[in-house]
Structure 1
Amino acid sequence: MRRLTYFVATSLDGFIASPEGAFDAFLMRGDHIEALVREFPETLPGPALKAMGISPDNATFDTVVMGWNTFAAGFPEGVRDPYPHLRQFVCSRRHAAEEASGEVVVSKEDPLDLVRRLKSESSERDVWLCGGGLLAAHVAEEIDRLVLKVHPILLGAGIPLFASNAYVRRAFRLESTRAFASGVVMNSYQRA
């Protein structure tokens, strides 16, 4: 069975974006980016990969699941097919497939059912939970691995890593931690 991996950048105080949904406070340069490009190139948007001349092998992920606001973050730059190298599922009950492009699937299916279906597929690659916080909270019981790129910033408010009023208790064990000169620390946790 495949794993669901929540691979996301977060501030020291646990926010994945500003209150408006912006993530421009996160460090976009530094040695952590070099590691990201080398180890997780499939997590970079298609336009960035094209600009760098990279064709990812999708060694870790072949499928990405995200909420509408995460998907729509690229709209101001005209990006409506952010990860063309992956199978893309956008969870939204309010938006239509016509608002996306390429092979993006806008799913009205319950996110928990969608994630369970994707995890049951035969594949050695993980399913990437890209964001956002509401979706992460909704599917928390199916998250098998957390990879948190903790940036040395405080936001004070914004979209939390898990945004929900629901109480979810899950234990994880630390697999690895890496500190970068940029100040970013990448922590990987496996569900206990």
Structure 2
Amino acid sequence: MRNLTYMVAMSLDGFIAAPDGTYNDFLFEGDHMTALFEEYPDALPTVARQALGLDEKPNRTFDTVVMGRATYEVPGGLPSPYAHLRQYVVSSTLTGAPEDVTVVADALSAVRALKAESGLDIWLCGGGKLAAALVPEIDRLILKVHPIVLGRGVPLFDGEFPAQRFAKVESRVFATGVTFATYSRS
């Protein structure tokens, strides 16, 4: 069975994006980015993989990405942002997605079916409402905590769900002040 990993950047006060869905205040340079490129190249948009010469390398961690509509339609977004992965967008209203983007309305059923398949892990890349709906299926959290306080925005989990316990696996602090904290479901 495959794992669902919620890997996302967040602020110190628990927001994954500004109120308008953008994430311009997060750090995109420094040693934490080098670690991200080396350890999780599958989680880079296809255009970034091509620019870094990684587009010919096989996926190592993820072969599927699941995202909410707001994450998919982030301002300046691409119609097929992760063409090197199987792409799923959770929405009941999205139309006109490219052929390589599958739109599903029922996130839980879709993720449960994906987890039952063989293959690499599944990356939940955002957003907060979708993460809250998928809490029962999240096996691992990789939180890239940036040294910034946004004050408001899109929360890491945006919705109600029963408490879930995770165990700390690893934590690394980079010179940029960004911390990668990894947790597994207890």
Q: TM-score, normalised by structure 2?
A: 0.96
Provide the residue aligned with 1:127 in structure 2: 122
SS of the counterpart of 1:76? coil
Pairwise CA distance, 1:102: 4.5
Pairwise CA distance, 1:94: 1.0
SS of the counterpart of 1:113? helix
Pairwise CA distance, 1:184: 0.4
Whole-Å Cα distance in 2 between the matches of residues 34 and 66 of structure 1?
24
Number of positions where the alignment pairs a residue of Structure 1 with one of Structure 2:
185
Provide the residue aligned with 2:175 in structure 1: 181
- The within-5 A match list for 1:1-40 is 1-40=1-40
Which of 135, 141, 144 is residue 140 of structure 1 equivalent to?
135
Provide the residue aligned with 2:158 in structure 1: 163
Is the counterpart of residue 115 in structure 1 residue 114 in structure 2?
no
SS of the counterpart of 2:76? helix
Provide the residue aligned with 2:69 in structure 1: 68
In structure 2, stretches of 5+ residues that fail to align are: none
Whole-Å Cα distance in 2 between the matches of residues 170 and 88 of structure 1?
27
Equivalent position amino acid for 1:181 in 2: A
Provide the residue aligned with 2:49 in structure 1: 49
Which of 122, 130, 151 is residue 146 of structure 2 equivalent to?
151
Provide the residue aligned with 1:59 in structure 2: 60
Equivalent position amino acid for 1:72 in 2: E
In structure 1, stretches of 5+ residues that fail to align are: none
Whole-Å Cα distance in 2 between the matches of residues 131 and 67 of structure 1?
6
Q: TM-score, normalised by structure 1?
A: 0.93
Whole-Å Cα distance in 1 between the matches of residues 176 and 10 of structure 2?
14
CA contact (8 A) 1:84 1:102 kept: no
SS of the counterpart of 2:108? helix
Identity of aligned residues (%): 51
